[in-house]
Amino acid sequence: MAAQGASLLDENGELIAESGLFSAPLFKDCAVVMILPLDFFYDAYTGEEEPVRIVLNGDMPLESALASSMASSVSGILKSERAAWYAAYSVKAGGEFDRADFERFCEDSAETILDNALGRLNVFKNPDIRAELSASVKNPFFACAASMLMLFVSLGVLKTLPEERRLGLYDRFVSAGGSLFQLILSKFITAAVFCAIGILPLYFILKPDLHGGVFVPAAAFIACFLLMLMQARLTRSAESYLIIGGILTAAELLFGGVIYPAKLFPLFAKRISVLTVPKYLIAGLEKSEISASVIPLAVIAAACLAVFIVLEAALRGIRRSKRGRRKV
């Protein structure tokens, strides 16, 4: 809140002490009181420098810090703009200013300086700019939260798969009439339900820009699930699965650009990022083309599935050959 010096009076017209300023009913809900000198803006036009007094409310530290930062930013802009204009006029005047030169300097520069400092607020009045700024905050947050949820849920649901194979539970399941497809499908549905429970409220709260619709998070979830499924086939115990899966999840989040902006990555990190799921989830929030998000996610999912199928076929062949040797 900004107030003129004459406004620091209570309802009875008595001066409010600065120590009890925020206890007064007039200022109790204020984070900051800015006391402007009389004719402050007129003095700004004439080039006169007058101090501005700011009183911060210690009971509202966040709001006070924001208001203080804003005031410092505006005053810094005013100071730098005035210094630039003053330097230009000094060169034009040959380094010496008389009174007429100074008045001409104030007349030509004051309005531009104030417009540059205060007119920047108009940027936030533009609905397109506001929408872009909002998207720059909510989209990365949604991508980060959704990616973490998809990766960790898939990691948790599939962690029993290596132990089930090692302890023979999978073989008993198959001998009872089950199949590998049914086992994986049950785990897939479980992971999908848990992810939906977490992502749907997040979507309705943040309302991110899903240009590809539901296909983008769906493709990202399938890719995350198949990535963890492939990793589960490569490990033989739950401990090693969780260790490798945790490292893989951290790498996905880091190189995918949800923790640190991918545009600032070095070249080798940018090359690694093309293999990550979060990168294309973010692309689905920023671009409307399906080729930028859904298709790369489908390629990652297909590659993970292909590796899993090859490993499964190879390990089955090894087990059959071992059983054949034992019979012989």
pLDDT in tens, 32-64: 777 777 766 666 656 566 677 777 777 777 877
Taking the whole predicted model, whether its pTM rises above 0.85 is answered as no
pLDDT in tens, 79-130: 777 777 777 777 776 666 677 777 777 777 766 766 666 666 555 555 555 5
Rounded to 5 degrees, φ, ψ at 3 are: -140, 145
Rounded to whole angstroms, the Cα distance separating 301 from 198 reads 22
Rg of the Cα atoms in the chain: 32
The count of C-alpha atoms lying within 13 angstroms of the C-alpha of 273, restricted to the half-sphere facing its C-beta, is 24
pLDDT in tens, 133-161: 566 677 788 888 899 999 999 999 998 88
pLDDT in tens, 194-230: 999 999 898 888 888 777 678 888 999 999 999 999 9
Paired with 32 in beta bridges are: 56
pLDDT for residue 97? 66
Cβ neighbourhood burial of 28 (10 Å; 0-12, 13-18, 19+): exposed
Helices first, then strands: H and E counts in the chain: 12, 3
Rounded to whole angstroms, the Cα distance separating 75 from 82 reads 10
Mean pLDDT taken over the chain: 77
Question: Is 77:84 a contact under the CB 8 Å cutoff?
Answer: no
What secondary structure does DSSP assign to 92-104, as a single string? Answer: HTTT---HHHHHH
Q: What is the residue type of 107?
A: E
Q: What is the residue type of 177?
A: G
